[in-house]
Amino acid sequence: MREIAVVVHNSNETVSAVETINSIKKAGFKNVFVQWYDEDWEISQEEQVRLCKENGLNIIFAHLGYRTINQIWEDTLEGESLVEKYQNDIKNCSENGIKMVIMHLTTKRTAPMYNEIGLNRIRRIVEYAKKLNVKIAFENTRIRGYLEYVLGNIKDENVGLCFDVGHYHVHFNDDFNFEFFKDRIFAVHMHDNDKTDDQHLLPFDGTIDWQSAINKLKEANYQGPITLELCYRNDYLKLGIDEFYQKGYEVGTKLSEMFENK
């Protein structure tokens, strides 16, 4: 059986990060990922890492912020400053024992066209991460082409893909070049939606064909854990936070079993 992990989500409604971490632990999770967004949260990202460790939760990766990532493709000082920002984030994650980070290559519906300026900046970030023995997994977001451009030009062993199943469904209409990324899927984000929005539902609460998605991941030789990117909000608020994460653990177990089926 594969390991199961879940995000410590800072957009959970009506509960604090402390309550989230406690409920994750109570549900039976042993692995989490954290959001390293450099935001002014009431409970800082560093404090969340400490609380996870105190609860015996293994942090499999950190998701870095992406609010200004489109600027990495622009010939501006702001774009250049992102190199140092991400290098600093990677350094801080490494010092906290986190050996993989997730990054976006774009945000929102439009972005500057990918180009050598951005590629060279990303190369510098990758080289820095490599020195610290940190892997970088770039996530499939809304816009096609950027992942292929970056991973096609950067072949380093510490660079791969974070495959977001929800994005694959709502933004890509379940169409994705798995063969291109074969053996390079380092991580996954598993959550569901009904194709109207990126809803971050519990798996099986939306319209994703989970058996098909799992089959594609197996064909691409994904070997890592079942990693859920769930958010406690909207209709889920009818559940207690403990019940929400208990359901999350149950569906994570179901997905893990599906991976084992021939």
Distances (CA, A) of 243 to 192, 247, 257: 18, 6, 21
Pairwise CA distance, residues 114 & 176, whole Å:
19
Q: What is the DSSP string of 207-260?
A: S--HHHHHHHHHHTT--S-EEE-----GGGGGS-HHHHHHHHHHHHHHHHHHHH
pLDDT digits (tens, 9 = 90+) for 92-126: 999 999 999 999 999 999 999 999 999 999 999 99
Assigned fold of 4-260: TIM Barrel (3.20.20)
- Confidence (pTM): 0.98
pLDDT for the residue numbered 50: 98
Where residue 261 falls among pLDDT bands split at 50, 70, 90?
Answer: confident
pLDDT digits (tens, 9 = 90+) for 17-41: 999 999 999 999 999 999 999 999 9
- Parallel, antiparallel, or unpaired: how do β-strands 226-228 and 135-139 relate? unpaired
pLDDT value at 231 more than 70: yes
pLDDT for the residue numbered 262: 67
- Pick left, alpha or beta for residue 239 (phi over 0 → left; psi -120 to 50 → alpha; otherwise beta): beta
pLDDT for the residue numbered 105: 98
User: What ranges do the domains of the chain cover?
Assistant: 4-260
